Chain A
Amino acid sequence: KQEVTQIPAALSVPEGENLVLNCSFTDSAIYNLQWFRQDPGKGLTSLLLIQSSQREQTSGRLNASLDKSSGRSTLYIAASQPGDSATYLCAVRPVTGRRALTFGSGTRLQVQP
């Protein structure tokens, strides 16, 4: 059974810092990995999708990397802003079976102005 772990569970940083969020998964047989952002009381917003054949994806100040063999992904946020404060979740889609995503519990990020 696939398990997804995100560390740390919470993170507080001053504005302007570069930061890294970690995601690990136990079964490396994945189709893709997706990073989401969730603001309080809201739905999830897709940030980046990395296919299993890719090593990284970039969007603006965000960069996500994938090391499938070691079961790890990182989300790098450059020059953090207070507007980046949210919960960040990663999720993996397996190669076989029902192929629905398995989610981590998220990292709650607070960027202090």
Chain B
Amino acid sequence: SQTIHQWPATLVQPVGSPLSLECTVEGTSNPNLYWYRQAAGRGLQLLFYSVGIGQISSEVPQNLSASRPQDRQFILSSKKLLLSDSGFYLCAWSGGEATGELFFGEGSRLTVL
């Protein structure tokens, strides 16, 4: 069966520090991968999605970037965190077809102080 792992689960970082959140999927190949952010009291916002290695689409201009160095690995990064980057970050995957069911990881809670 397929599983998705995200880490770290919780992170407290000072403003201006770098960020790296990692996500890996097991049990499938060539998945579509997504990073979402869920801010307090708001809905889910799509940040990035990827349909293959090295292929990244950005949804909103922001202080973050994403990379996909391997087929089942998706990384969310920042060189310098802002207070507004605080939130709950969720990685998700769907099958290779564009209309497949979406499955989420457990999320990473980021607090920027």
Which residues does A use to contact B, with CB under 8 Å? 31-32, 34, 36, 41-46, 49, 51, 89, 91, 93, 98-101, 103-106
> Contact at B42–A49, with CB atoms within 8 Å?
no
> Contact at A101–B102, with CB atoms within 8 Å?
yes
Q: Which residues of A contact B90 (CB under 8 A)?
A: 43-44
Most chain B CB within 10 A, of A36, A43, A44, is at A43
A100 and B49 in contact, given A31-B99, A43-B90, A44-B90 (Cβ under 8 angstroms): yes
Which residues does B use to contact A, with CB under 8 Å? 6, 34, 42-44, 46, 49, 57, 59, 88, 90, 92, 98-99, 101-107, 109
Q: B9 to chain A: closest CB distance in Å?
A: 9
> Contact at B104–A45, with CB atoms within 8 Å?
yes
Q: Which residues of B contact A104 (CB under 8 A)?
A: 43
> Contact at B101–A49, with CB atoms within 8 Å?
yes
> Contact at A46–B101, with CB atoms within 8 Å?
yes
Q: B5 to chain A: closest CB distance in Å?
A: 11
> Contact at B106–A105, with CB atoms within 8 Å?
no
Which A residue's beta carbon lies closest to that of B44?
A: A103
> Contact at A99–B105, with CB atoms within 8 Å?
no
Which B residue's beta carbon lies closest to that of A104?
A: B43
Which B residue's beta carbon lies closest to that of A4?
A: B43
Given contact pairs A105-B42, A106-B43, a sample of 20 additional A-B residue pairs in the complex whose CB atoms are under 8 Å apart: A32-B99, A34-B101, A43-B104, A43-B105, A43-B107, A44-B90, A44-B92, A45-B104, A46-B102, A46-B103, A51-B99, A89-B44, A91-B102, A93-B99, A98-B59, A99-B98, A100-B34, A100-B46, A101-B102, A103-B44
